[in-house]
Amino acid sequence: MTTKTIKVDYLTRVEGEGALDLHIEDGKVTTANLRIFEPPRFFEAFLRGRSYTELPDIVARICGICPIAYQMGAVQAVEQAFGATVDGQLRTLRRLIYCGEWIESHALHVVMLHAPDFLGYPDAIRMAESHGDAVRKGLALKKVGNALMSLLGGREIHPVNLRPGGFYKVPSREELAPITEELKRARDLAEELVRWVSGFPFPELERDYEFVAMHHDEEYPIAEGRLVSNRGIDIDIVDYENHFEERHVPHSTALHSMVKQRGAYLVGPLARYALNFDRFPQSIQSLAREVGLGPVCRNPFQSIVVRALEVLYACEEALRLIADYEQPDSPAVPLEPRAGTGFGCTEAPRGICWHRYDFEEDGTIRAARIVPPTSQNQPSIEADLAAVATSLVEEGDDIIRDRCEMTIRNYDPCISCSAHFLKLSVHRS
């Protein structure tokens, strides 16, 4: 029997902090724990007693990379609880700002954090020495996503303009016009990005995931739809808790989500893509096929290609939304607080982000529950790690460690969201 320990102190190029424990006994991987011990911040506790009007500003602070995902789920829940409908041009603007978040978040991950894994660099700065053009174009793409966020939200990190019922201020057509040219350039850059990343060398791995994503009658899902899976789930977001459960495990400050009586599931780009491929415009479907992806992709390492396709989609969708935009008469619909429960769910860049709030008569928050995407993916990440480590068990520790870190990065994990600290230690006995 051999005993061996590999240790890495900090998982890098992810948002937040965590650790991995791999136990290998007699050539078999017995445990693959993604340990998340980023300090908890207790949002669900201190939201109690606050007003619904403060909700979007507070929950934005769960995550600096995807604040819109938190704000949008929160305002949806308020509106549902108070019986309000936000549609028409206000709905358009919400989808538009969300496109900005997809572009900036995905471009950051694809170019700055994930691509260096495939090309053998520790970061995008060193990668830029040989791939400067690609890095500069990636930054330019990211900048357009941020510009869209700033235009509609006031700033790119923790935007200030979204509120229950709509917005504080809505732009005129003229104010939106200048970003059109930038988005057209971004669309071209995104297409280049798809071609660039699809040429990367992908490790072989196919996993039989239960994909869970939103699904909408007419559009690729961003901010609304039903929750569906490839194993028969097809529910309103209100019924989420009847089908999914969270478990608190000793090695993580993030709660683990499971499909009840079934187990791990996967949210994020691969799931959205597999369940909504036919919602992409024909041109993007064709490009996906041209670069070697079918309508379903089960190789988690190819999630980088799917993210690039989603950036392209977000650019095209933003252009379409702007072209059809007319300034609404009012920036928000009126709200009448009442006692009740409301739900919200949207497709954060990393996957579905689900919210439930109970309100008192005056709109004071009585209880809050937020399920971020990374905690939902944690069991799938651990299953991927076990599969990857098993396939490499004869290899040296460095190879196992590098591939395991890359496997975690496939998920673009937002550990800050899910709670957070990654140390990697491999114990062999």
Partner 1 sequence: MPQRPSLAVWKFASCDGCQLSLLDCEDEFLALADAVEIANFPEASSAFVEGPYDLSLVEGSITTPHDAERILEVRAQSKYLVTIGACATAGGIQALRNFADVNDFIAAVYASPEYIGTLETSTPISAHVLVDYELHGCPIDKAQLIEVIAAFLAGRKPAIAAHSVCIECKQRGNVCIMVQGTPCLGPVTHAGCGAICPAYRRGCYGCFGPMETPNMPAMAKEWKLLGAQSRDIQNALRTFNAWAEPFRDESAAHDD
Give the footprint of partner 1 on this chain (CB under 8 A): 10-17, 38-46, 48, 50-51, 54, 57-58, 61-65, 67, 104, 108, 112-113, 116, 122-126, 128, 132, 135-136, 139-140, 142-143, 146, 154-158, 160-161, 163, 168-169, 246-250, 253, 255, 331, 405, 414, 416
Judged by beta carbon, residue 14 or residue 259, the one nearer partner 1 is 14
| Nearer Cβ to partner 1 (43/118) | 43
Name the maximum alpha-carbon separation found in the chain. Answer: 74
Q: How far is the CB of 226 from partner 1 (least distance, A)?
A: 28
Q: Closest approach of Cβ 189 to partner 1, in Å?
A: 12
**Distance separating alpha carbons of residues 426 and 189, to the nearest angstrom:** 40
Q: Is the Cα torsion angle 315, 316, 318, 322 positive or negative in sign?
A: positive
Tell me the residue length of the chain.
Answer: 429
Two structure tokens written together for 158: 């923790």
- The minimum distance between CB 14 and partner 1, in angstroms, equals 7
Task: Kindly tell me which of 64 and 340 has the beta carbon lying closer to partner 1.
Answer: 64
Report the nearest approach of partner 1 to the CB of residue 206 (Å): 27
DSSP H/E element including 29 = strand 28-35
Q: Which is nearer to partner 1, 131 or 272 (CB)?
A: 131
379-410 residues labelled b (16+ CB within 10 A) or e (exposed):
bbbbbbbbbbbeebeeeebeebbbbbbbbbbb
Structure tokens at 89: 């041009």
Q: Which of 186, 191, 189 is nearest to 309 (CA)?
A: 191
CB atoms within 10 A of CB 281: 14
Nearest distance in Å: CB 337, partner 1 = 14
Q: CA 117 to CA 202: how far, in whole Å?
A: 10
DSSP labels for 78-95? HHHHTT----HHHHHHHH
Residue placing its CB nearer to partner 1 in the complex, 17 or 79: 17
Q: How far is the CB of 374 from partner 1 (least distance, A)?
A: 12
Min dist CB 413 to partner 1, Å, is 12
Looking at the Cβ atoms of 64 and 281, the one nearer to partner 1 is 64
Which runs of E-coded beta strand occur in 157-274?
162-163, 166-167, 212-215, 226-229, 234-235, 244-247, 256-259
Nearer to partner 1, 328 or 331 (CB): 331
Instruction: Please report how many Cα atoms fall inside a 13 Å half-sphere around the Cα of residue 301, on the Cβ side.
Output: 20
CB of 155 to partner 1, least distance (A): 6
Indicate the residue among 192 and 246 with the shorter CB distance to partner 1. Answer: 246
d(CA 76, CA 98): 14
Residue 188 three-state SS: helix
